Amino acid sequence: MMSNTLLPELYTTMKRIRSFEERVGELFIKGESAGTMLHLSTGEEIGPACVGTAMKEQDTFTTHHRGHGIFIARGGDPKKMLAEIAGKKDGYCKGKGGSMHIADMKLGHLGANAIVGGGIPTVVGAGISYKYLKEERVSVAFFGDGAMQQGILYESMNMASLWKLPVVFCCINNQYGMGTKIDNAVGYKDFSKRAESFGLKTLHINDLDVENAYNKSREIIEDARKFQPGFIEIECYRFYGHARMDKSPYRNDLEETEMRKLDPIDYAKKELIKNNMLNKEEISEIDKNILNEMDEAMEFAIKSPVNDENEIFIDVYSEKDPLPISIDEKINKILSN
C-alpha cells in the first residue's frame, strides 16, 4: 500500500514551489526583477501540487497572476521562469510578458493573465478544440477567489456545461483578493453550489491532506475527459502580501500567525515521517537538491542577457508580416520631406 503513495512526489513539488517563490523574493530584493508586481504562491502549494499532478501530460491550462506555483507543478523550468520574471531574453516569453504572463505552449501552459478572470474562457475554447479534434485532453483554468466575482466565469461555466466540454475550473481560494477579505467580497460563500447550479461536478478541498486532494482532483479531471466538466475549490492562505510591495496592513498578526500554522509542506513532511515513507535524512536530501536547483536557476536568470532594442517590434504580427515601423523612423521620414 505504501509503495503506491504519491506523497513524496507531492511533497517535492510543494517544496520546489516554495523554494522557487523564495528566489522570486530574492530577485526582487536584489533589484533584478522586472518590476514589483510579483505574486507569490507561498502557503498555497497544495492546490498547484494536487491538481497539477492529477493532470495528464497532454492536458493544458491557464493561470491567474499568481501562477508560478501552478507552472512549477506542470513541469515549468525554474531557470526560464526566473529569467522571465527578470525580464530577460532567456525567459519563457523573451522577457516581454514577465511574472504575470508566463506561458509555454509546449508544456500546455496557455498563459498566465493579469486581468482577473481573463484566462478563464480560454479553456472553454480549448475544450471545444479537443472535443472537435477528438484529442483526449482536458483544459484547466486556475484562478483566485477574486475571479469568482467576475461575470465571465459564469458565462464560461454555462458554455462548458451546455456543450459538455473537457474542462475544469479550479479556484485557489486564499481568502483574500488584494486587501479585501473574502467575506467582504461575497454575499453568500458557497462556491461549489454556484458551480453545481450550472451542472458541473464539484470538489471542495479544505484541509492539508494533499494526497487525498490529489486523488479526488484526479476523479474530477478524468470525468472532464469524459465530457463531464468540473469545478474544484481549494482553500488555503496567502502567507505573504498581495504583491511584493504589500505588507498586508489590513490583516492582523494573530490571524497571520494562526493561519500560517496551516502549512501544507510541514503537514506533508510529518505525514511522510509518521508513515515511514521517507526518513528525515531522505527529506533533507530532497530539500538540498531543490535548493541547488533553485540556486542554478537564480544564477541563470541573473546572467541571462537583456533583449536587443528591436525586440519591441517583434511578435506584434506573425513573422511573415513586416515589423511595425518605429516612431523614430516615421518621424524622421516626415522631417526629411
Partner 1 sequence: MSDLNQNFFEKITYRDALRLAIHDAMIEDKKIIIIGVDVANYGGAYGATKDLLKIFGKERVIDAPISEPAIVGAAVGAAMTGLRPVAELMYVDFFGMSMDQIVNQLAKVRYMFGGQISAPLVLRTQGGTGRSAGAQHSQSLESWIMHTPGLFLSMPSKPNDAYHLLRHALRIDNPTIFIEHKLLYNSTGYLDKLDTNFSFGKANIIREGEDISIISYSRMINFAEKAAEILNQNNINSEIIDLRTLNPLDSKTIIKSVNKTKRALVLSESNYTSSVPSEITSIIFENCYRILKKPVIRYTAEDTPVPVAPNLEKNYIPTIEKIVEYSKKLCN
Can you give the binding site for ligand TPP, defined by CB under 6 A? 39, 64-66, 114-116, 144-147, 174, 176-178, 238, 242
Q: What are phi and psi for residue 318, nearest 5 degrees?
A: -65, 160
CA distances for 110 relative to 59, 74, 106, 125, 270, angstroms: 10, 12, 9, 11, 35
CB of 130 to partner 1, least distance (A): 26
Residues in the chain: 337
Which of these ranges, 108-116, 191-199, 216-224, 267-275, lies near partner 1 under the rule CB under 8 A?
A: 108-116
- Kindly tell me which residue out of 149, 161, 175, 192 binds partner 1, with binding defined by CB under 8 A: 149
Q: Does 150 help bind partner 1 (rule: CB under 8 A)?
A: yes
State the minimum distance, in angstroms, from the CB of residue 332 to Mg ion.
48
335 lies in the binding site for partner 1 (CB under 8 A): yes
Cα(40)–Cα(246) distance, integer angstroms = 12
Question: Is residue 174 within the footprint of Mg ion (CB under 5 A)?
Answer: yes
CA 320/CA 326 separation, integer angstroms: 18
Rg (CA), the chain: 21
Of the pair 35, 125, the CB lying nearest partner 1 is at 35
**Residue 118 or 166 having the CB closest to ligand TPP:** 118
Q: Which C-beta is closer to ligand TPP: that of 126 or that of 147?
A: 147
Our CB check for ligand TPP shows the closer of 147 and 159 to be 147
Between CA 53 and CA 16 the distance in angstroms is 13
Cβ 256 to partner 1 shortest distance, Å: 16
Determine the residue type at 37: M
Residues of this chain, 298-317, that bind partner 1 according to CB under 8 A: 306-307, 309, 311-313, 316
304 C-beta neighbours (distance < 10 Å), count: 20
Q: How far apart are alpha carbons 135 and 165 in whole angstroms?
A: 12
Decide if residue 29 touches partner 1 (CB under 8 A). no
Measured distance CA(37)–CA(68) in Å, rounded: 13
The mark string for 188-227 relative to partner 1 (x by CB under 8 A, - otherwise) is: ----------------------------------------
Minimum gap (Å) between residue 166 Cβ and partner 1? 26
Please pick, from the candidates 8, 25, 26, 37, the single residue that binds partner 1 as defined by CB under 8 A.
37
CB 68 within 8 A of CB 77: no
Q: Which residues lie closer than 8 Å to 139 by C-beta, 6 or more apart? A: 59, 60, 61, 62, 110, 122, 123, 126, 127, 130, 166, 167, 168
Among 115, 212, 219, 266, binds partner 1 (CB under 8 A): 115
For residue 337, give every residue at least 6 positions away whose Cβ sits within 8 Å of its Cβ, in sequence order, or none: none
CA distance 133 to 168: 18
Cell of 336: 526629411
Q: What angle do CA 259, 243, 95 make, to 5 degrees?
A: 135
Q: Measured between alpha carbons, how far apart are the two ends of the chain, in Å?
A: 81
Q: Please report, as residue ranges, which positions from 225 to 284 form the binding site for partner 1 (by CB under 8 A).
A: 250
Contact flags string 134-163 toward Mg ion, x per CB under 5 A: ----------xx------------------
Report DSSP state, residue 166: S
Tell me the C-alpha distance between 190 and 214, whole Å: 21
**80 forms part of the interface with partner 1 (CB under 8 A):** no
Choose between 53 and 174: whose C-beta lies nearer to Mg ion: 174
87 binds partner 1 (CB under 8 A): yes
Q: Site residues (CB under 8 A) for partner 1?
A: 34-37, 87-88, 94-98, 100-101, 113-118, 146-147, 149-152, 177-180, 184-186, 250, 306-307, 309, 311-313, 316, 324-328, 330-331, 334-335, 337
